[in-house]
Structure 1
Amino acid sequence: MRDVLQVLKEQFANWGLIYRLANYDIKSTYQMHYLGAIWQFLNPIIQVAAFWFVFGVGIRRGQPVGDVPFIIWLVVSIVPWFFINSSINQGTKSIHNKVNLVSKMKFPFSILPSVIIVKNAYNFIVMFAIVIILLISNDIYPSIYWIQLPYYLVTLIIFLFAVTLLFATISILIRDIQTAINSVMRMFFFLTPIFWVADGLPDKLVSLLKLNPFYYLIEGFRNTLFLETWFYEDITYTIYFWGLTLMILLLGSFIHIKFKAKFVDYL
C-alpha cells in the first residue's frame, strides 16, 4: 500500500506537469496535418459510422435493441471503448518512449501513463458530449440514474491508470508486452458487449464474460444513460471489479517503485 500512496502522491504533486505534457503531445501529434486536432474526432466518427452500417444496417437490418435504437446502443459503448483502447495501447508505451529523454533528470516516471490518459480524455469528453446530444435527439432524456455518471467516469479513470501503470512498467522489462497488449485489446473488443447483446446467452457464459473488466465499464454507461440500473444492484460484480482494479494497482505500483531506478538499464 505504501507504493500505491507514493505513486498517487506523484500524480497529485505533478498535476500541472501532466496537463502541460498532455497538451504538448496533442499539438505535436497533429501539427503536420492540415486538419490538425480535428482528426482526434474525425477518426472515431468514421469508425462509428462503419460499425453502425455493418452491424446496425447490415446484420441487424435496422432492428433496435429493445426500445433503444441500435445507433444509441452502439455509441454509448464504443465511445468509452475508444478511450479505453487508445489509453491502454498508448499508455503501455508511454514510459518506454520517454525514458531516454527524462532519465537524466529527477522525473516521476509514473506520471507518463497519466499524461496519455489526460491526452485521450479531451477526445473522450467531446465525443461523450456528442453522445448526450444523440440521446436527447432520440427522446432519451436525463433521469435520476444519471447522477451515477461521475461514479463510472472516476471508475474508468482509476482502472485505466492502474492498468497503464502496470503495463507501462512491464513493457520496459519485457518488450514483447507492447505487441501482446495490441492483440489482447483486439480480442477484448469482441468479448465486450459493444455491438452485441448478452440477453439470451446462457447464464454460465454471461458469468464467464463478466470476468472481463471492460464488461463492467461498458455496461455501466448503458445502465446509467438508458437502462436505468444502479451500480449497486449487482454488488457482487461491483466488488469483483474493484477488487481486480485494486490488485492491478497494487501490483503495478510495487513493480514500478522497485524497478524505476533501473529503467534505462533495460533499454
Structure 2
Amino acid sequence: MIFRIARYEDRASYQSHYLGLLWEIINPLIQVGTYYLIFGVALKGSRGDSGGVPFFVWLVLGMVTWLFISQVITRGSKVIVNKVQLVSKMKFPLNILPSINIASGLTGYVVMLAVALVLLFNKGVFPTVMWIQFIYYFICMMVFLYALTLFTSTLTVLFRDMQFIIQSVMRLLFYVSGAIWSIDRMPETIQNVFKLNPMLYLVDGFRDVFLSRAWFWESPALGIYFWAITLFLLVAGSVLHDKFKENFIDYV
C-alpha cells in the first residue's frame, strides 16, 4: 500500500510537466554539477581530503545520500498537515504517511546511486566484500528518516512554524554533513562537534561502503550514538503521534 500510494503521488506531482518523473533525476544532477563547479573547480584548494579518488566521484557519493535525506526530511515535516484532511474521514493509519514520503523519494535515490556506481566503475573502483555494509547503512537511513519525519511531522501539526525551522536547519546542516567537503582538515575539537550530526554518520558511512574504507564496527562510539539518537526520535515521535492523532484535524 505504501509503495502504491507513493507511485500515485509521484505521478500526480508531475502530471502537468512534459518531462514528468525525469525531474526527479534532472534536479539532483543539476545540483551535483553546480557544487562540483564550485567546490571541485573554483575552490579546489579548500575541498578537503577525497580519500585518493577523483573529487567528483567522492562528491557524488556524498550528494546522493544527502539529497535523498534532505528531500525526505523537508517534505516529511509537513506530510501530516498536507494529508490529514484527505484521510481524516476514512480508516487510515496516519503513522504510515512518513513511510509513503520516504518511498516516494526512492526512485530518484536509486537512479542517482546507479549513476554514482557507473562513475566508480569508470574510475576503476569495483565491489569488494565491504560493499555488503550497504545493507546496514541503508537500514540505518530508513529507520532514522522514519523516526525523524514522524517526530517533525507531528510537531508541525501542533506548531506550524516547525516546517520553516526544518528548512532553515537543513540549509545549515548541508555544510556540516560532509556532503560537499571533508571535515578532516578541521581541528579535532570541531570535528568531534560535527560528528554529533547523525547525517554525517550516514554520508560518511556510504562513502566507507563504496570506497571500501572501513567497516561500520570500527567506530563503535559513533554507531551507538547514532542509534541512541534514532531510537530517541522514534520513541518521542511515536508518543507524540499517539497522544495527538485523534485531534490532528482540529489543529489543522
Of 168, 176, 181 in structure 1, the residue corresponding to residue 161 of structure 2 is 176
The Cα shift of 1:144 comes to: 1.3
| Worse overlay, 147-156 or 65-74 | 65-74
Alpha-carbon contact 1:62-1:70 (below 8 Å) kept? no
The Cα shift of 1:80 comes to: 0.8
1:148 corresponds in structure 2 to 133
| Amino acid aligned to 1:81 | W
Of 186, 202, 221 in structure 2, the residue corresponding to residue 236 of structure 1 is 221
Matches within 5 A, 1:38-187: 38-60=22-44, 65-187=50-172
| Amino acid aligned to 1:60 | K
What fraction of aligned residue pairs are identical, expressed as a percent?
43
| Amino acid aligned to 1:42 | I
2:3 is aligned with 1:19? yes
Alpha-carbon contact 2:131-2:212 (below 8 Å) kept? no
Secondary structure of residue in 2 paired with 1:118: helix
Distance 1:51 1:60 in 2: 11
1:252 corresponds in structure 2 to 237
The Cα shift of 1:200 comes to: 2.8
| Amino acid aligned to 1:49 | G
| Amino acid aligned to 2:132 | I
Alpha-carbon contact 2:73-2:148 (below 8 Å) kept? yes
The Cα shift of 1:21 comes to: 0.9
Residues 143-198 of structure 1, C-alpha deviations (whole Å, 9 max, x = no match): 11101111111110110000000001110000000110000000100111111112
How many residue pairs align between the two structures?
251
Question: Which runs of 4 or more aligned residues in structure 1 lie more than 2 Å from their structure 2 counterparts after TM superposition?
Answer: 61-66
Distance 1:151 1:67 in 2: 24
Residues 113-170 of structure 1, C-alpha deviations (whole Å, 9 max, x = no match): 1111000011101110111111010111111110111111111011000000000111
The Cα shift of 1:20 comes to: 1.3
Q: TM-score, normalization: structure 2?
A: 0.97
Structure 1 49/209 Cα, relative in aligned 2: closer, same or farther at 3 Å?
same
Residues 45-76 of structure 1, C-alpha deviations (whole Å, 9 max, x = no match): 01111110111011106987341111011000
Structure 1 66/18 Cα, relative in aligned 2: closer, same or farther at 3 Å?
closer
Alpha-carbon contact 2:128-2:212 (below 8 Å) kept? no
Alpha-carbon contact 1:166-1:255 (below 8 Å) kept? yes
Query: Which runs of no fewer than 5 residues in structure 1 stay unpaired?
Result: 1-16
The Cα shift of 1:44 comes to: 0.6
Structure 1 62/262 Cα, relative in aligned 2: closer, same or farther at 3 Å?
closer
Residues 201-249 of structure 1, C-alpha deviations (whole Å, 9 max, x = no match): 2211111111111110001011111152000101011000001100000
Secondary structure of residue in 1 paired with 2:84: helix
Alpha-carbon contact 1:193-1:215 (below 8 Å) kept? yes
Distance 2:51 2:136 in 1: 26
Alpha-carbon contact 1:52-1:71 (below 8 Å) kept? yes
Query: Which runs of no fewer than 5 residues in structure 2 stay unpaired?
Result: none
